[in-house]
Amino acid sequence: MKRVYQLAIFAMMLIGVFGCGENKADSSVLDKTGFLSPAKKPPVVEKTTLPEGTRLRVALIDGVSTTKSSPGDQFMASISEPVVIDGKTVIEKGTKVRGRVTDVAESGRVKGRASIRLVLTDIVQGSKELPIATKPFIAVAQNTKKRDATIIGGGAGVGALIGGIAGGGKGAAVGAAVGGGAGTGTVLATKGKDLHYPPETKITFTLMNSVEM
């Protein structure tokens, strides 16, 4: 009987030793010498914040126009210039971004001028999409009588027009400005009844809020 009792105690001790060994192995790995070493912790990923007001210069992948685009239509573009914060490249050139057409007016509806309003909504990083909010980019066609185009910014004043299309064709560079009250981007487009921005057209958007990358 005493012998049986001793064997039972010995068996329980063995179970405890092997159980502890398994638990230890779960949190450890074998090093090159074959001995157990503490498991390595995953590296800490440092995040960078894109501040409000950061400019995102993009090149259109999908063209937009006042004749073919409608409010709510989405479009794709790519970052044409890397975004650098404190010497660190946060967004690589070529990174895809998604945008949306928020308003379209064909020629003849608003004082005879066509206009279009665009915003960016997401930065596409592989299978992930990072939501963003940008100030709207607004383009208004010049009227055919050569009068100056005036954009009213949210009823708070006249928007400053400090840019334009450098060329009317493929790859045209579009400058954006901050409007008076609403802080919208505005441009004075080339003459004509309608506005057409084909693929590779470059546009600048401005972040409305900070974004953690």
- pLDDT, tens only, 25-70: 444 555 555 555 566 676 766 788 899 999 999 999 999 999 999 9
The predicted pLDDT at position 126 comes to 84
Q: Are 66 and 104 in contact (CB under 8 A)?
A: yes
H or E element at residue 38: strand 36-38
Amino acid of residue 64:
V
- pTM: predicted TM-score of the whole model, two decimal places: 0.62
Residue showing tokens 């502890």: 20
**b/e per residue 96-121 (b: at least 16 CB within 10 A):** bbbbebbebbbbeeeeebbbbbbbbe
The predicted pLDDT at position 168 comes to 38
Segments of the chain scoring below 50 in pLDDT: 17-18, 20-27, 110, 147-184, 190-191
Q: Are 161 and 149 in contact (CB under 8 A)?
A: yes
The predicted pLDDT at position 183 comes to 42
The predicted pLDDT at position 176 comes to 39
The predicted pLDDT at position 84 comes to 93
The predicted pLDDT at position 12 comes to 63
The predicted pLDDT at position 154 comes to 34
Q: Are 207 and 52 in contact (CB under 8 A)?
A: yes
201 vs 43: CA distance, rounded Å: 40
Q: Are 129 and 123 in contact (CB under 8 A)?
A: yes
CA atoms within 13 A on the CB side of 167: 9
The predicted pLDDT at position 29 comes to 54
The predicted pLDDT at position 127 comes to 87
